Amino acid sequence: VYLDPCVSLLAMLLLFATCVPQVSRHGMLLLQATPPHLSISDLRQRIERVPGVQAVHDLHVWELTELLRVASVHVRCHGPSRCADLISEVLKVLQSVGVSCCTIQPEFASRSSPSVTQREDRTCSLACTSACAASMCCSPSEEE
């Protein structure tokens, strides 16, 4: 008499135990979450140690599939003279943590502006309208 409910309960527990990890993993992919093994702060520090990099901001890393990691980053540097070399070095750092596709946005510091070390600036130097800034995930108004 109790065999059918017991077998049904066992089947339900088995299905639940096998589905929850899969749903969790695929849910994180759909949310484009940062890979769990990756430390954004450590990655930021590694990029900042690249010769010629003054500052790093808007660093985002996420997974599109289990095998495809994507990144975007803004890198402030002195000028366009060694930009290709700088981007190549930053790309090597990103590839070392498994990023296979990335967008590196160089920003050039002007000679008239205060140095990054004086300002401890992590905001974007590119002009953006207030409507644009309000829709950004890390707008300057939130960071101040």
Tens digits of residue pLDDT in 93-125: 999 999 999 999 999 876 555 444 434 455 555
Report the distance separating Cα 25 and Cα 36, nearest Å.
Answer: 11
Contact 50, 93 (CB under 8 A): yes
Domains of the chain, start order = 34-111 (3.30.70.1350)
Report the distance separating Cα 35 and Cα 28, nearest Å.
Answer: 9
Which residues face 107 on adjacent strands? 76
- Give the model confidence (pLDDT) of 50-93 as tens digits: 999 999 999 999 998 888 999 999 999 888 888 889 999 999 99
Report the distance separating Cα 5 and Cα 56, nearest Å.
Answer: 59
pLDDT of residue 114: 47
Contacts 24+ apart (CB under 8 A), 80-87: 80/106, 80/108, 82/52, 85/52, 86/50, 86/52, 86/53
Report the distance separating Cα 125 and Cα 137, nearest Å.
Answer: 16
pLDDT of residue 117: 41
